[in-house]
Homo-oligomer: A and B are copies of this chain.
Amino acid sequence: MNKRIGRFHVLTDPRFQQRFGHAELARLAAEGGADTIQFRQKSGSVRDMLEEAKHAAAVCRERDVPFLVNDRLDVALACRADGIHLGQQDFPVREARRIMGPEAIIGGTATTVEEALAMQEAGADYIGFGPVFPTTSKDNPAPVKGVTNLACVCAAMRIPVIAIAGISVERVKPVIRAGAHGVAVMTAVTTAENPARAARAFREELDVVIAGYSDQNIL
């Protein structure tokens, strides 16, 4: 288990493109500088899911990149993931912590400060907050929160906040300035012509913005 909360999460949900499976997306994302891979698959048999998750987990282990599974605690346990990412309707954070132990990375998606605080209280290691911007990757997205709400949540939390939904390279700067620890992206990488290059652009912007922000703090 690997308790580093990354700043650049890439979700390997293979919907929206047919070129790459989870393992390949994980490899490309890691190559581009992703420091957390989140395996996300919402359909199909648990057998297939497990097979794919194991391959992706192996790719991440080889590259020492933390590997999280979205939603499915059983799959996370079976592929010895570093942790799990849970939505509000998924497995409860507290139960997941009890089962996975203190070393597991447990993240939760929150769309309000109340949800975020409740998940922090329940033992989450980080919060994915959003949708910060409009997204087309989710069927019924919650109302867009914007950077102002993101800043409020970041100010209220002890644990890192990852900005989710509609994050582009241009939007890295405002969300980090709002106090986000990092960003999570999906289609911005997975549907890019060159996913590794797309990931690299995020990584570089993040590094520049975080470095600049750190300098500012020192001054």
A contact residues vs B (CB 8 Å cutoff): 45-47, 50, 71-74, 77-78, 89-92, 95, 99
Distance between A199 CB and nearest chain B CB, rounded to angstroms: 30
B residues within 8 A CB of A99? 74, 77-78
Give the Cβ gap from A162 to chain B, nearest Cβ, in Å: 22
Main secondary structure of the interface of A (DSSP, over half): helix
The one of B47, B74, B89 in contact with A47, judged by C-beta atoms closer than 8 angstroms, is B89
Known: A73-B73, A74-B74, A78-B91. 5 other contacts (CB 8 A): A46-B89, A47-B91, A50-B92, A73-B78, A74-B77
A95 touches B45 (CB 8 A): no
Q: Which of A46, A92, A99 has the most CB of B within 10 A?
A: A46
Most B Cβ at <10 Å: residue of A71, A74, A77: A74
**Complex formed: what's the CA distance from A71 to B45 in Å?**
11
Q: Are B92 and A47 in contact (CB under 8 A)?
A: yes
Chain B contacts for A91, CB-based, 8 A: 46-47, 50, 74, 78
Q: CB-CB < 8 A to A72: which residues of B?
A: 74
Q: Is the CB of B50 within 8 A of A89?
A: no
A18 to chain B, nearest CB (A): 23
- A46 (CB) vs chain B CBs: closest residue: B91
| A130 CA to B77 CA, complexed, in Å | 30
Cα distance A77–B96 in the bound complex, in angstroms? 9
A90 CB → nearest B CB, Å:
6
